[in-house]
Amino acid sequence: MKLNNGIIIPPIGFGTWKLKNNDETVEIIKEAIGCGYRHIDTAFAYGNEETIGKGIKASNINRKELFITGKLWNDDRGYENIINACKRTIKNLNCEYLDLYLIHWPASKAVHDDWIEINNETWKAFEYLYEQGLVKAIGVCNFKVNQLEELIKVAKIKPMVNQIEFHIGAYNKDILDFCYKNDILVEAWSPLGSGKLFKVDELKDMALKYNVSVAQLCIKWCLQNNTLPLPKSKNIERIKNNLDVFDFEITKDDMDYLNNFRDVGNSGLDSETITLFN
Ligand code: A2P
């Protein structure tokens, strides 16, 4: 896949949310890279940047072969803070630069009257980081259409990515269409519905029909919707399984059926109304 600035991004990323700060995670990252992952998706808020950095080092891979994504946490907003937070992430990951840096959450309307200004200021700092070469691409997460519209009005550099919750049962078509029109790549977090999709009988049946696992069906569905899935697993066999999705194709009829699938596995997090963290 290609970002709107021409940078190539490996089409499946390894998700690292919930991986603990321990030796097991070092081994998991090393194994994931060993079995072919070249794209690692991290975030300061996951609390495991240093451990992931150790896993990358242990893999002995050349830095240039990897695509590493970091995310700015909400507590680090403010122009100077953002620049320091980005440098801290690069140091934690021991990776010289980030391939992609994302705003983890927009400022929520429910908490901040000045949410537009906050997001715009954050974006200015991101543009600076990009221009300085500390990060090779910049983008956002969890932005809805109106939040993107506001940002694009003032942006010198258009976001290259919007990472959102996207899985069977959470199709988010309005954001997908907007991003497609604006040449913003949609990355899919929780592409497996955080594991909740494995219990759904219709998906089990369809996976059987294609002779694949439910996880492979879910990942392929993301890819065929032109989104970039970020599955996570701690288990080496499942890690491999999630990458092995390039020798089958979901039919148009089945894609239509899955796109219209009932609401299932949704986190319920809404970036406009959220007050929990923001
Ligand atoms: P595990 O780490 O034990 O493999 P998501 O990426 O949507 O957040 O989903 C992650 C969840 O899905 C985790 O609980 C993970 O468990 C599970 N998982 C990931 N890949 C597979 C797979 N191929 N088969 C079954 N479960 C999987």
Alpha carbon distance 62, 196 (integer Å) = 36
Per-residue confidence (pLDDT) for residue 29, from 0 to 100: 98
pLDDT in tens, 10-48: 999 999 999 998 999 999 999 999 999 999 999 999 999
pLDDT at 83 (0 to 100): 98
The better pLDDT of the pair 277, 183 is held by: 183
Residue 15 Cβ < 6 Å to ligand 1: yes
pLDDT tens track for 117-170: 999 999 999 999 999 999 999 999 999 999 999 999 999 999 999 999 999 999
Q: Say how many C-beta atoms besides its own lie within 10 A of residue 24's C-beta.
A: 13
Residue 171 carries which side chain, given as an amino acid letter?
Answer: Y
Ligand 1 centroid distance, CA of 235 (Å): 8
CA of 213: how far to CAs of 36, 44, 172, in Å? 19, 31, 23
Output the residue whose Cα is nearest ligand 1's atom 18. Answer: 233
Chain centre distance of CA 117: 24
Active site residues: 46
Question: Is residue 265 in contact with ligand 1, taking CB distance under 6 Å?
Answer: no
Question: What pLDDT does 118 receive?
Answer: 97
54 has a pLDDT exceeding 90:
yes
Cα 94–Cα 99–Cα 101 angle in degrees, nearest 5: 90
In this prediction, residues 172-189 reach a mean pLDDT of: 98
Tokens 């309307």 label which residue? 109
- Predicted confidence at residue 275, as pLDDT, reads 84
Ligand 1 mutation pick, 233, 244, 264, max ligand atoms within 8 A of CB? 233
- Distance in angstroms (rounded) separating the CA atoms of residues 41 and 35: 16
Per-residue pLDDT band at 276 (split at 50, 70, 90): confident
The per-residue pLDDT for 274 is 86
Are 12 and 231 in contact by the 8 Å Cβ rule? The answer is yes
CATH number, domain 14-259, options 3.40.47.10, 3.30.420.40, 1.20.120.80, 3.20.20.100? 3.20.20.100
Phi–psi pair at 103, nearest 5 degrees: -75, 120
Q: Is 70's C-beta closer than 6 angstroms to any atom of ligand 1?
A: no
Q: Ligand 1 centre and the CA of 234: distance in Å? A: 8
Q: Which of 25, 238, 240, 269 to mutate to test the pocket of ligand 1 (most atoms within 8 A of CB)?
A: 238
pLDDT of residue 249: 98
For residue 174, what pLDDT band results from cuts at 50, 70 and 90? Answer: very high
Report the C-alpha gap between 147 and 153 in whole angstroms. 10
Please check whether residue 149 is in contact with residue 216, taking contact to mean a CB–CB distance below 8 angstroms.
no
What per-residue confidence (pLDDT) applies to 25? Answer: 97
pLDDT, one tens digit per residue, over 217-274 is: 999 999 999 999 999 999 999 999 999 999 999 999 999 999 999 999 999 899 988 8
Helices (H), the chain: 23-34, 49-59, 79-93, 115-131, 145-154, 173-181, 201-210, 214-224, 236-243, 252-259
Is residue 278 pLDDT above 90, yes or no?
no
